[in-house]
Amino acid sequence: MNQGMHAGWPVRNGDRPLPPAPVAISADANAPDLRTLLVEGMAPIDPALVLLFGSPAQGLESLVASLKCKLPDHCRVVGCSSAGEIGPAGYCVETVTALGFPSASFRVGVCELRHQAQVPVSEWMTQLRAFHTEFDRDPRRSLFGVLLADAQAKQEDVLVATLDAAIPGLPMVGGSTADGLGFLPTHQVVDGRELPGSALFLLIETDLAVAEVAFAHFSPTDRRAVVTEADNNARIIYRLNDEPAAQEYARLAGLSVDVLNQTEFARRPLLLRTGKRHHVRAIRAITPEGGLELMSGIEPGHVLTLGRAIDMTRGFAEALDALPRPPMMVLGFDCILRRLALQRAGMLGQMSELFARYRVAGINTFGEQHSGMHVNQTFVGMALMPPLSA
């Protein structure tokens, strides 16, 4: 969907009134009346927060500033560039997708975590604890966090661990921001101010019930390898099972090194087990020395399992159907590698229909965050549901 505007889904109130629901709007990024479309779509809900996702990123800063000026003073407008968007009709490209959260049922705070590449953990920890304390949450309402991290900084693993330690037990989802499909500088904007190299962390309080959702279309095989040499900062595995990493990965996958490419990496990812779950450690490329460059951190001693792809749509529907009540919106962060795999399989339309059915809106990312973990090739989301009392 590249043309015109798609507005959010109709609200199903049933027999009892519900708290005001969030809305989603997608519009062509090149539409001459883009600002008017977004303001007219958001103004009626008196938003406490507007999340703005766009690709390409040109003009994002001025667009956020324009909305900030035209919406109520109490509205925070937070934007970032993306690898693609998810709007009311599903996947879309070269759009601006805006998510509005009405002030009647939402309250938001924004914390700017500067200098992500420098990993100032102590500074972040102090800042986050003070931010959480000053937010002064209402214990009768749900509280969750949203993280928009800079993918180029390659420090999401430490950032998410810091968040989990600073505010333990907080439900949190997020994504690593991108600018299209290239590994280009990303853009994070708050109320019209661009914050290069920063991560943005939002605390959102709501009358709605919330639940984390996560889905990865892989299952582990019986083929495993130990990381015997790696650079965690560069996210490179040099040796697996004390063999050159690309060579050993190819042997485990039953392939020749010569045929390894992004498609094969996406079909056969490496999985890291944490607790009872396997998390994807996606391979980005082969280094000139025959190592494997990943999209997440890795350390010597980690035991990795070769994964295999399973159904990309059925399991997603099962995960959403397991929610206690149908969502009013699912704020979603979907790995760009999943979208590319669906495109190669001719299944983009099927996935878009599921996104529309379950009211998913958000962005495609270069990495996803949830439950204190940074992962890849995964869909993570925060389901916003009617409260039990509604």
Closest CA to 64 of 79, 86, 74: 79
* Cα–Cα distance measured from residue 4 to residue 187, given in angstroms and rounded to the nearest whole number: 24
What's the pLDDT at 186? 82
Distance CA 67, CA 42 (A): 9
Please compute the mean of the pLDDT values over residues 309-318 and round it to a whole number.
86
H or E element at residue 255: none
Residue, of 39 and 60, whose pLDDT is higher? 39
Which pLDDT does position 340 carry in this prediction? 87
The per-residue pLDDT for 8 is 60
What domains can be seen in the chain, in order of their start residue? 5-215+314-385 (no CATH), 218-309 (2.40.30)
DSSP 73-84: TT-EEEEEE-S-
Cβ–Cβ < 8 Å for 177, 82: yes
Neighbouring residues of 36: CB distance < 8 A, sequence distance ≥ 6: none
Q: What is the predicted pLDDT for the residue at 136? A: 94
Q: List pLDDT tens digits, range 255-300.
A: 999 999 888 888 899 999 887 788 889 898 999 999 999 988 899 9
CA distance 177 to 218: 23
Residue position matching structure tokens 């949203």: 146
pLDDT digits (tens, 9 = 90+) for 174-195: 999 987 666 667 889 999 999 9
pLDDT of residue 212: 96
How far apart, in whole angstroms, are the C-alpha atoms of residue 336 and residue 180?
10
**Cβ neighbours of 233 (radius 10 Å):** 11
Q: Is the pTM of this model over 0.75?
A: yes
Taking CA atoms, 339 is separated from 223, 230, 258, 289, 314, in Å, by 26, 29, 25, 29, 15
Write phi, then psi, for 97 (nearest 5 degrees): -110, 125
